Copies of this chain bind each other. A is one copy, B any other.
């Protein structure tokens, strides 16, 4: 029987609804490796980075959750296994980062920046791949854990998930 203690990790993948092929390849690799490691993926459910990450995760049989801004589950990209139709518009970004144990931001425009900020506000670790550079906080700690590869992003994300499991 499942319990909260054994529930699988959920990693948020945030990124824009349109992206170039290089960024899509990066997102797909992140999704694939997350699923291979047994983590579920939660995202905004649309195209671009989100679709690429879901595609990678599904290729490895992972659970993909799409928390959509619109009113129709049919808006989800084809590799979303569990579509949530919120009809909340951009306010749904807060739900993505709440549901995630850790967030990986890939590239990103203003929507991604809002997810980074909302995640940090509620204490989630954010790992960044080619995303906003926000510098360091007053204690000298970087606001975002910047990494260069999908491998590093997934390794940091899993470490963050384990840390969160211990802390709660």
Query: How many copies of the shown chain assemble into the complex?
Result: 4
Contacts of A90 in B (CB 8 A): 87, 94, 118, 121-122
Most-contacted residue by chain B among A10, A91, A92 (CB, 10 A) = A91
Smallest Cβ-Cβ distance to A86: which chain B residue:
B95
B94 with A1: CB separation less than 8 A: no
A110 with B120: CB separation less than 8 A: yes
CA distance A71 to B100 in the complex (A): 11
Interface residues on A, range: 35 or more
A82 with B40: CB separation less than 8 A: yes
Whether a CB of chain B sits under 8 angstroms from the CB of A113 is yes
B76 with A4: CB separation less than 8 A: yes
B79 with A89: CB separation less than 8 A: no
Whether a CB of chain B sits under 8 angstroms from the CB of A88 is yes
Whether a CB of chain B sits under 8 angstroms from the CB of A18 is no
A85 with B98: CB separation less than 8 A: yes
Contacts A73-B99, A118-B114, A121-B110 known; A79 to B7 CB distance under 8 Å?
no
Smallest Cβ-Cβ distance to A63: which chain B residue:
B82
Q: Identify which of B74, B83, B98, B132 contacts A134 (C-beta below 8 A).
A: B132
**A interface with B by C-beta (< 8 Å):** 1-4, 7, 10, 40, 58, 63, 65, 67, 71-74, 76, 78-79, 81-95, 98-99, 109-111, 113-114, 116-118, 120-122, 132-135, 168
